[in-house]
Structure 1
Amino acid sequence: MFYAAIILGLLGSFHCVGMCGPIAFLLPLDRRSNSKKVLQLVSYHSGRLLMYSVLGALFGVLGKSLNLFGMQQQISIIIGVLMIVVIIMPTKIFNRYNFSKPLYKFVGRVKSAMGKQLKRKDPGTFFTLGYLNGLLPCGLVYMAIFGAIASQGVMEGALYMFFFGIGTIPLMTTAIYLGNFLNNNLKKLIIKAIPVLVVIVGILFILRGLGLDIPYISPSEMVAIEQVSATHSCH
């Protein structure tokens, strides 16, 4: 499912530009030296990728724990259903029940730390900014975390989030170089396309869990692996 993570990151990065674009535009890049600017951007993206990988590993542990109970297929299906439900659920429900409210203090501290880093130009500034950037709440990151849980392993979860981050790099880098280059009409089209993308990824997870013997999409091996795991656990 790593290809799904890259696609989610690549197309979802249009959303990232809108959410994290202001931070990217404020990066204290060295505009006089292209080589330094490239190194600074690499450092910034490396920080983001590390944080995404850490989050992926943590939620991969959760997925692995659930997998020990023989829920490999069910987890994949549940994650896929959750992705679709989150997208089709009316926005007013989220507005009524603010699920992110407990995170406000934490997010405030992250933003404060980023504000301090933006005023500095130390060698580690860009890496730290990228690392902190990965902690900011983002709907697309939440979707990717669902994928990390469904991957059901520490390394698998880390790699899933890593590839998601890789997918976001091209457009985020373009945004940093060119600024706010998207016109309003294109932005509207992208905003409409992102939910469709998430639903497609959700369907892929459901198909993966069904084990329909479709190569790369719904491999039947998942069923066999689950049966073997259940047999060993009984003994």
Structure 2
Amino acid sequence: MSPELYLSYPSAFLIGLLGSTHCLGMCGGISASLSMALPVGKGFRLRQSAMLLAFNAGRIGSYVLIATLVALASTFAASQWALAGLVLRTLAGILLIFMGLSMARWWQGIRYVERIGAPVWARLSPLTRRLLPVNHGGQALALGALWGWLPCGLVYSTLGWAALQPTVGSAALTMLFFGLGTLPSMLATGYAAGWIQGLKTHRLFRKITGALLILFGLWTLPFQQLVGHLG
């Protein structure tokens, strides 16, 4: 794979930032509930911040772990198959386009992709119930780590790009920056759930975000390499 295939970390952060309203539907509710479960009183904001940060640290940590596993598999595939890089980049571009279409509410085909992770989530989801209600940061961290495995088209789309990275470490960093991009919306959900929910359902915002993700996907697709290979 050539250097121009590699996703820059700022781009991963931007994808997380643009697509994070999609995450709110899956993780936003649990993030907001962590805040609402805390007793209001002295030190409430400090406890709220600590709980939200712990939950999101666990969630992003799982993204990094998944990226590491995917990168190990893609590195092995690339060593065994010359066209692995081309296939991976094509899949990454298609997934981003699917995610953009979903964000803009033009087509929800990404839901079929999310079913890939359903068997894993079926085993992990019962464990999340054992951690509720969350009473301290350790529980929030563990709950976030489990929640990071929730099937999510946006995560899968970025994992496709992470698989293009030259090393396992750079793939893990790609997902770290992606996770950091989702962090502002996830933290804001805990502090201002109503305002964020309004942004999530704002028609123009969703269409602009969806169009930008589609452009990211088109930019990722290796048109020149595909034409050269087919030719």
Q: Structure 2-normalised TM-score?
A: 0.75
Give the aligned partner of residue 200 of structure 1. Answer: 215
Distance across 2 between alignment mates of 1:60 and 1:54: 10
Give the aligned partner of residue 121 of structure 2. Answer: 107
Q: Residues 165 and 29 (structure 1 numbering): CA distance in 2 closer, same or farther, change over 3 Å?
A: farther
Give the aligned partner of residue 141 of structure 2. Answer: 127
Q: Which of the residues 76, 83, 89 maps onto 2:95?
A: 83
Cα offset for 1:123?
3.9
**Higher alpha-carbon Rg:** 1
Report 1:93-172 matches (<5 A): 98=112, 103-172=117-186
Asked if 1 retains the 8 angstrom alpha-carbon contact of 2:50 and 2:137, the reply is: no
Letter of the structure 2 residue corresponding to residue 169 of structure 1? L
Q: Residues 103 and 5 (structure 1 numbering): CA distance in 2 closer, same or farther, change over 3 Å?
A: closer
Letter of the structure 2 residue corresponding to residue 188 of structure 1? R
Asked if 2 retains the 8 angstrom alpha-carbon contact of 1:117 and 1:125, the reply is: yes
Q: Which of the residues 176, 180, 188 maps onto 1:174?
A: 188
Give the aligned partner of residue 12 of structure 2. Answer: 5
Letter of the structure 2 residue corresponding to residue 145 of structure 1? L
Q: Residues 101 and 79 (structure 1 numbering): CA distance in 2 closer, same or farther, change over 3 Å?
A: closer
Alignment size in residue pairs: 208
| Structure 2 residue 196 is matched with structure 1 residue 191 | no
Deviations 1:96-146 (A, max 9, x none): xx5555754542443332222122414411101111111111111111111
Asked if 2 retains the 8 angstrom alpha-carbon contact of 1:75 and 1:150, the reply is: no
> Which shifted more, 72-81 or 131-140?
72-81
Structure 2 unaligned blocks of 5 or more: 1-7, 226-231
Q: Structure 1-normalised TM-score?
A: 0.74
**Secondary structure of 2:135 counterpart:** coil
Cα offset for 1:174?
0.7
Asked if 1 retains the 8 angstrom alpha-carbon contact of 2:21 and 2:200, the reply is: no
Q: Residues 35 and 122 (structure 1 numbering): CA distance in 2 closer, same or farther, change over 3 Å?
A: closer
Asked if 2 retains the 8 angstrom alpha-carbon contact of 1:62 and 1:152, the reply is: no
Q: Residues 85 and 102 (structure 1 numbering): CA distance in 2 closer, same or farther, change over 3 Å?
A: closer
- Fraction of identical pairs, as percent: 25
> Which shifted more, 156-165 or 102-111?
102-111
